[in-house]
Structure 1
Amino acid sequence: CYQHDVLAVCDEVNARGEFLPDYAGEPYDNHGRFQALFEYTSMMGELLEMDVVNVPTYDGYQAAATALSMAARITGREEVLLPRAICPDKLSKIQDYLRPDLTIRLIDYDPRTGQLDREALRRALSPQTAAVYFENPSYLGYIECHGAEISALAHEQGALCVVGVDPITLGVLTPPAGYGADIVCGDIQPLGIHMQYGGGHGGFIATRDEERFVMEYPSRLFGIAPTCVPGEYGFGDVAYERTSFARREEGKEWVGTAAALWGITAGVYLALMGPQGMAEVGEGIMARARYAMMQLGRLPGVRVPLFQAPHFQEFTVNFDATGKTVAEINRALLQRGIFGGKDLSREFPELGQSALYCVTEVHTREDILRLVEALQEVLR
């Protein structure tokens, strides 16, 4: 989860009786549900510069795994390539979802920049590769600057390029479709949804409007069509026969209860923000994160950012030269009422005593300076 501003209207709309039953149900008991979700998918398509977006899956982890499964079915291949700089929890979920049908291979990163090692990728690609997956921004916070080259390498071998993206970045960053992505996926939690203990997630998958992609979606797709009344339009399922709802045990992939209410919430957020609002929030986040890195970088023994690359809201801070562990630092910060960065020393031991910090639009200049002052005390 990310700590972002949640507009009051988002909570107001998703608490309305017309939408609260959207755990499941059909138009006759959920008034306006299909249209609301159609509007959500339309705005997501505009944000992602893609034609087709699904009704939300459980979360972004499932969306990534499903996107890779779709790529394997489309290409008829059984191997996918993922970056080693991926969240271990997400990797675990992808492994659970894809095994035993697909083989997963991890591609290393450049230790200086964090960028995906393109030479290693080139060597790993083969006629068995169904997809190359990477994330922008990455789990470690840096922005992958070589998306077009990665996509081209995948396409040269007949593989698809699948990109995981944080949708709140797309007011300032080029959508993955702009650098060759075939399938784009991610989580909508940043779009007007509160942080929660395990809930508040919804996964999206987006593609071009081509039959080979559309018919491999396991989740529902909502569209608009004219009715028998001139000038009237209705909203409903597209290609329903491809889903497990219709095919049951013969479905290509099972899909159960989705996160429809969160899709409606994200739609409200996008409608309220508009293109200018999304640009402003993205610029504000990047400015705050840069300011935080500059201030933290002045502390003795602190190296930030660890990777020589642009960042969005997250960045890796290294404390090796301070003589203290991240665990010690975080305990001391917690005593001062501050949550320290996520300890990366177990997940990525080669990074030493490093932590992942995050700054968003909710953090003020005073918040950042309070963190810097607290760290200065702790590191003495």
Structure 2
Amino acid sequence: MRYLPLTDADRRAMLDVVGAASIDDLFVDVPAQARLDAKIAELPDHASEWAVERHMAGLARQNLVAGDVPFFLGAGAYRHHVPASVDHLIQRGEFLTAYTPYQPEIAQGTLQVLFEFQSQVARLFGCDVANASMYDGSTACWEAIGMARRITKRKKALIAEGLHPHYVSVAKTMARFTGDELVTCAPELTPDGDVDALTAAVDKDTSCVVVQYPDILGRISDLSALSAAAHEVGALLVVVVTEPVALGAIRAPGDMGADIVVGEGQSLGVGLQFGGPYLGLFATQQKYVRQMPGRLCGETVDASGKRGFVLTLSTREQHIRREKATSNICTNSGLCALAFSIHMTLLGERGLRELAMLNHARAVEAAEVLAAVPGIRVLNNSFFNEFTIIFDTDARDVARTLADQSVLAGVSLGRLYPGEEALANGLIVAVTETTTSEDIAALAAALKEVLA
């Protein structure tokens, strides 16, 4: 029997309140080409449970498992080794069943975990305070732009050419509803980033400058001068970090004057997971804390003077202030934040630095080997564990050919920037501690054969 909780009269009453003539009117913002106008022909009306399981298992066998082949994909999602103890601990019943910790007297464990997570993120990013996580890096990036608008009362955001195009896309989608002006462009294949051009473009109408560090091409820039230029005209510097492991080897953005630092926490504890769920990181300086979106856990003492933890500044959240809230996000990626925090705790500061240096060393090895292959040019003057190589042919074709040979060579810029022919020959190669010298040799041999 179908479960129909609403009557036609119920639906009509709700549509009248929101001012929609029909349910279809609620989906007008979804592009027509993305909507189904008929049943999916390939799907049967029904099937037995065992038949569905067998069919889905067959589809799953078509996947190429990251750990089974030479793997050089990155561009915002990275394959790192996650200790088995992380998965073991996050599956403890008290973590899996925990929900929103609105009642601190019965949620001390969850609140303490989130407090420790915030402390780790704040220290990693070089900021005073961090929130208890957000959905993912791209939504955290948009929230930073919105926060800068609230602080500066301006609506023009300068976005560096090296910001991940998916992050730019999310920001453009949200800006349609807020009126923010986003000034951005596709990157140029130059060895260094566009920090000087950004610095020159900052003016008194700028709310913030958004720059990725390292950027989508793997380039690393000193952001100190950009920070000074932004602050001189009352604008904020927003730094996006898609690979937090890098901060074990390079300067924290907050140490270079960043006002807001956001990022993707997937690299630590979470795993690739076919693209999600992931973990948004968000940190800022103390003077801006009241404009920071999302939830914030704080330390206090109870009536007996014992240490305790509570949610603080929650009056900013949507579930309380509705349309007056700083954000529509009033939850956090709690389980992924827990995994991140456990992995960070297991590493410690020394372990994180060692992991970062191992990543960089493997990437340097790969860059040197690939640079010796005829028909390949390494773009970067600087990089952490990810760099861009340039071919004399379309990198999309090269990547597909190697994938058919079970070598996942990297992410082609033509895939990230369709229509940008100037970028079509670029390939982003990511190397982590899971990459072996044998993997690098296999990639070089495959490229040598394809490019011959």
Report if TM-score (shorter chain) is over 0.5.
yes
Structure 1 residue 351: deviation in Å?
3.2
2:186 maps to 1:114: no
2:224 maps to 1:152: no
2:226 maps to 1:226: no
User: In structure 1, what is the Cα distance between the partners aligned to 2:430 and 2:201?
Assistant: 32
Structure 1 residues 2 and 22: CA distance shift in structure 2, 3 A: farther
User: In structure 2, what is the Cα distance between the partners aligned to 1:104 and 1:40?
Assistant: 31
Aligned 8 A contact 2:299 2:308 in 1: yes
Partner in structure 1 of residue 238 of structure 2: 162
Partner in structure 2 of residue 82 of structure 1: 159
Which residue, 439, 447, 451 being the options, matches 1:367? 439
Residues 175-324 of structure 1: matches in 2 within 5 Å?
Answer: 175-210=252-287, 213-230=288-305, 232-304=306-378, 306-307=379-380, 309-320=381-392, 324=393
Aligned 8 A contact 2:211 2:240 in 1: yes
User: In structure 1, what is the Cα distance between the partners aligned to 2:426 and 2:323?
Assistant: 47
Structure 1 residue 89: deviation in Å?
1.4
Partner-residue secondary structure (3-state), 2:95: coil
After superposition, what is the alpha-carbon deviation per residue over 1:11-32, rounded to whole angstroms, capped at 9, x for unaligned?
0111111111345454466561
User: Bigger radius of gyration, 1 or 2?
Assistant: 2
Which residue, 371, 394, 398 being the options, matches 1:329? 398
Partner-residue secondary structure (3-state), 1:197: helix
User: In structure 2, what is the Cα distance between the partners aligned to 1:103 and 1:22?
Assistant: 40
User: In structure 2, what is the Cα distance between the partners aligned to 1:227 and 1:29?
Assistant: 13
Q: Which amino acid aligns with 2:431?
A: V
Q: TM-score, with normalisation over the residues of structure 2?
A: 0.78
User: In structure 1, what is the Cα distance between the partners aligned to 2:343 and 2:232?
Assistant: 38
Partner in structure 1 of residue 180 of structure 2: 102
Aligned 8 A contact 2:394 2:425 in 1: yes
* RMSD between aligned residues: 1.8
User: In structure 1, what is the Cα distance between the partners aligned to 2:266 and 2:404?
Assistant: 29
Structure 1 residue 87: deviation in Å?
2.1
After superposition, what is the alpha-carbon deviation per residue over 1:313-357, rounded to whole angstroms, capped at 9, x for unaligned?
11111111xxx4323322321232111221213614223411111
Aligned 8 A contact 2:214 2:384 in 1: yes
The alignment of Structure 1 onto Structure 2 pairs a total of residues equal to 370
Aligned 8 A contact 1:81 1:133 in 2: yes
Aligned 8 A contact 1:188 1:204 in 2: yes
Structure 1 residues 122 and 38: CA distance shift in structure 2, 3 A: closer
Structure 1 residues 109 and 326: CA distance shift in structure 2, 3 A: closer
Aligned 8 A contact 1:344 1:351 in 2: yes
Structure 1 residues 23 and 94: CA distance shift in structure 2, 3 A: farther
Q: Which amino acid aligns with 2:237?
A: C
User: In structure 2, what is the Cα distance between the partners aligned to 1:176 and 1:220?
Assistant: 22
Gaps of 5+ in 2: 1-76
Moved more, 6-15 or 99-108: 99-108
User: In structure 2, what is the Cα distance between the partners aligned to 1:134 and 1:215?
Assistant: 23
User: In structure 2, what is the Cα distance between the partners aligned to 1:110 and 1:376?
Assistant: 26
Q: Which structure shows the higher helix fraction?
A: 2
Partner-residue secondary structure (3-state), 2:267: coil
Partner-residue secondary structure (3-state), 1:237: strand
Q: Which amino acid aligns with 2:369?
A: Q
2:109 maps to 1:32: yes
Aligned 8 A contact 1:218 1:244 in 2: no
After superposition, what is the alpha-carbon deviation per residue over 1:211-266, rounded to whole angstroms, capped at 9, x for unaligned?
xx111122000010011113x11101112222222212321321143211111111
After superposition, what is the alpha-carbon deviation per residue over 1:172-229, rounded to whole angstroms, capped at 9, x for unaligned?
110001111011000110111111123131111111222xx11112200001001111
After superposition, what is the alpha-carbon deviation per residue over 1:253-306, rounded to whole angstroms, capped at 9, x for unaligned?
2114321111111111111101111101110111111110100111111111x1
Partner-residue secondary structure (3-state), 2:294: coil
Partner in structure 2 of residue 4 of structure 1: 80
Partner in structure 1 of residue 413 of structure 2: 344
Aligned 8 A contact 2:407 2:443 in 1: yes
